Amino acid sequence: MIARGRALGRSGIEIGELAFGAAGIGNLFTPVTDADAEEAVAAAWESGVRYFDTAPHYGLGLSERRLGPALRGRPRDEYVLSTKVGRLLRPAPEPVGDDLAHGFAVPATHRRVWDFTAAGVRRSIEDSLERLGLDRIDVVHLHDPDDHAEQALTEAYPELARLRAEGTVGAVGVGMNRAGLLARFVRETDLDTVLLAGRYSLLDQRGLTELLPLAAERGVGVVIGGVFNSGLLADPRPGATFDYTAAPEELVARALDLKAVCAEHGVPLRAAALRFPFGHPAVAAVLVGTRNAAEVRDAAAMLRHRVPDALWAELKDRELLPPGVPTPQEAT
């Protein structure tokens, strides 16, 4: 089973160490059948996963439409559900082609409209509840406010804070891959959690510069996404992807070196990649995007895999990790 993680800020919401990222069942890059999506959620539940994250962006709502029914028969107080606001879905006047330009293998039936207004936040939550078919959303993230930071700070966040005060949502967060901008949100607002994608991994520790220490200081629970950096740390090889583009040769070589050291200690690289973020006290969970039951079970097994302290020490000795980066301590 998955160990319990940490609380998300002062919300009272606790999550396990492994979160189910539902972009995959929204047909991220390739189609997934309804059956595979349902079986992935079932496998997550059987593995002890109780935190499920989705967004309107994922498959033009397909992820939410699949995740809600898959969870509907589960005891509602036993799991945590998060979705996101910032993109409203509007019917396309003349649907043509697919949505692969945005990364999803679904028909282009809708278009995304950026909206970080207070009214947009309310509309987005209402639409998500309708697609999910569930009675509430526990955590709401501002989604990718990179180019809309001022409006997100002055309009969307205050509305989410009001909804939290009213009890409509349990916790408020921000999800994106820009650690510096996330740090600004942590400094200037009263967030419960942040979802940091791809910036705290064995290959990229930019989240450690400011965000993670600040989150620890302010009691903000951090969920780390992208621990495999979109594929390179899951299966390092020429042609593998890093941040969704072809990985440079030097990064492939570094990932292969990481894999070799892990193998010397009897640890799959995937296991080390999943365990690494928990060295920092601000990290509450890792979020893994999975599209079928086999991938879910593998992630759960890898997170349970023993990772000895000696592995982290050797990675530092070989300069594959910076000397000052915090690493997990093996349970005794």
Active site annotation includes 58: yes
Three-class SS state of 269: helix
Closest of 264, 250, 248, 238 to residue 317, by C-alpha: 264
The whole-angstrom separation of Cα 107 and Cα 88 is 17
Contact residues for 300 (Cβ-Cβ < 8 A; gap 6+): 2, 18, 44, 47, 48, 49
The whole-angstrom separation of Cα 299 and Cα 251 is 23
Three-class SS state of 246: strand
From 58, 79, 157, 200, active-site residue: 58
CA–centroid distance for 260 within its chain: 27
Closest of 173, 232, 219 to residue 19, by C-alpha: 173
DSSP state of 283: E
The whole-angstrom separation of Cα 95 and Cα 191 is 38
Beta strand pairing call for 80-85 and 87-91: unpaired
Long-range pairs for 159-163: beta carbons < 8 A, 24 or more residues apart: 159/118, 159/121, 159/122, 160/85, 160/121, 161/189, 161/190, 163/121, 163/122, 163/125
The whole-angstrom separation of Cα 190 and Cα 192 is 7
A 10 A CB-CB count for 301 gives 14
Residue 186 burial class via C-beta count within 10 angstroms: exposed 0-12, middle 13-18, buried 19 and up: buried
Closest of 16, 82, 47, 38 to residue 302, by C-alpha: 47
**Mind telling me the catalytic residues?**
58
